[in-house]
Amino acid sequence: MDVILFFVFAIVAVVCAINVVVQTHPISSAISLVGVMGSLAVLYLLLGAEFLAAAQVIVYAGAIMVLFVFVIMLLNAGVESKQGRSLVVQLLGVPLLVAFLGIMAYFVQRLFPSSTMVHFGGFTGGGVREIGRALFGAYLLPFEVTSILILIAILGAIVLARKEMD
């Protein structure tokens, strides 16, 4: 049952991720991104990382997506205009994508030939203590840099919106 659920939510995550890129309206892309975050939360639950799943829903699908939607609405972004694709993209796009995926699969198989199988529910590093120690220990600098980058993005959106209003 776990394997079936894994494949279902993995497919949902991939389809929603493709939909994020394909959508022309920014709000539709943001909604698809919520679908990706929700699917990842279920995948974390299947692996036994309940805290990571809850943090995924609360922080990413909740707070960060509200921030994204707020910035999109603040900038008053409309539907993206469709432009014609070049002939090279139309002819070589799909074959090059398939070749790229094949090469990546080959290298992953060569680099990790005999990796152990995932045991659903067997992950023990997803607790509050382990994540807190990693986040505020070894990963403190990236954590703080990310928070500063988010703050700069918010300020940039406010400046852009204020210029349009004047």
Residue with tokens 């990571």: 52
CA 18-24-29 angle, to 5 degrees, is: 50
Do you know the residue count of the chain? Answer: 166
Tokens representing residue 54 in the block = 């809850």
For 64, which DSSP code? I
Q: Are 52 and 12 in contact (CB under 8 A)?
A: no
Q: What is the pLDDT of residues 51-101, one digit of tens each?
A: 888 888 888 878 878 877 777 777 776 666 777 777 787 788 889 999 999
Q: What is the pLDDT of residues 105-153, one digit of tens each?
A: 999 888 887 767 767 766 677 678 888 888 889 999 998 998 899 889 8
Q: What is the pLDDT of residues 77-90, one digit of tens each?
A: 666 677 777 778 77
Helix H or strand E encompassing 108 = helix 87-111
